[in-house]
Structure formats: C-alpha cells, structure tokens
Amino acid sequence: YSLYFDYGSTGSNATQNLAYNTGSGIFFNSNDELGNTPNTWNYLSDNIIVFRHNTANDFNIVVKWRSLVLNATGLRNIFYIDEANSTSLELFQDHTSTHPYQWREYTWDLNLYFNANPSDPTGPFLTTWPGRQNYSSWQGSGHDTHSIANKNPQFVDTTANNYQLQPSSPALIALGFRQFNHSAVGPQ
C-alpha cells in the first residue's frame, strides 16, 4: 500500500505525500480489536496517489478499509487512476454493508478523482463508492460534496513521473490543494 494506517493508528497525519507506480492505494486497518476509541482520528490531506497496477499480486483497490474504522478525515487528495484495464478496479472497498454507520463520523471532501484511461473514462467511478453507491448518491450522503470526479488534475508530465500541478489545475483552483515540492521524491 502507498499509505497504510495499521492496527490502532490514531492521531496519524499523512499530509503532502506522493505515491506513484503503486498497485495498492490507501489502507485503513481495523480498530475493532481496540474498541474503536471514539475520540481518535486519522488525517489524510493534500496527497497525490497515482494508482498504476503493476503485478497480478496488487490489490486493485484505491482506498480500502479492512473492517470498521471510525473517525478519519480525507481532504484535498488527488486519486489518479492510470490503469490500462480499470474495469476490475475498485475505487473504495469498505464495510458499510455490515457497519452502515461507518461513514457517519468521517469528513471526506475536496478530493479529485480522475481515470486517465480514455477507453474507459468512467472506469472505477460507476458503483464503487462506499456502500456500492454511485457518485451522486455518495455526495447525497454528505461526502465529497465539493469534490471533483473525472476531471484531469493537469500534472506537468505523468510519463516522466512529474506530478507537479500546472497553475490551471482544478485541484489548485477549485479545491485548494496545497502544492508541495516533489524534487526529492523517488530514486536520486
């Protein structure tokens, strides 16, 4: 996984990370065993996750919850799907079927979701939102109400792994994404 919140992770702050060439996205592990302390929080903001499935062992999931995880904030993140065949990809995998109140305590908004595969422009965005909802229903539940789906974030050059945003990026203009320096990312 590109970002991994393990058992009992509380008060974690994952901010301004760039993860690319990853076939597994963000993983929130279970806190069931710890009794889900209600006043604990994990914070995820201003991250760029470039999902690119590399091997058959990758999980094909961009954001996953192993079990019930309460209290998380996800703001101003960019989820960029660069997948040749995204039809089997899940954007979210959660447990709202067994824990329908899971998202009640979450703040999840101002994110940008984009599928770069021109042959499958809707790709993982059909019914793989939490609870197997479509995007409109998901927004109707009070989440991602200001987020943008299927709009190119306008990276400088994805083929060269340059994920700086161009000044006209909707992530910068409409969502307030906080650009960060990527010069020290990757092999040096």
Chain segment 129-163, per-residue pLDDT in tens? 777 778 888 888 888 999 998 899 999 999 888 99
| pLDDT tens track for 110-131 | 999 888 875 555 555 666 677 7
Q: Which two tokens stand for residue 160?
A: 């060269």
Q: With 90 as the cut, is the pLDDT of residue 168 above it?
A: yes
Task: Label residues 41-72 b or e (16+ Cβ within 10 Å = b).
Answer: bbebbbbbbbbbbeeeebbbbbbbbbbbbbbb
Mean pLDDT of the chain: 76
Whole-prediction pTM: 0.84
Residue positions counted in the chain? 188
- 182: Cβ contacts below 8 Å, ≥ 6 apart: 18, 162, 163, 164
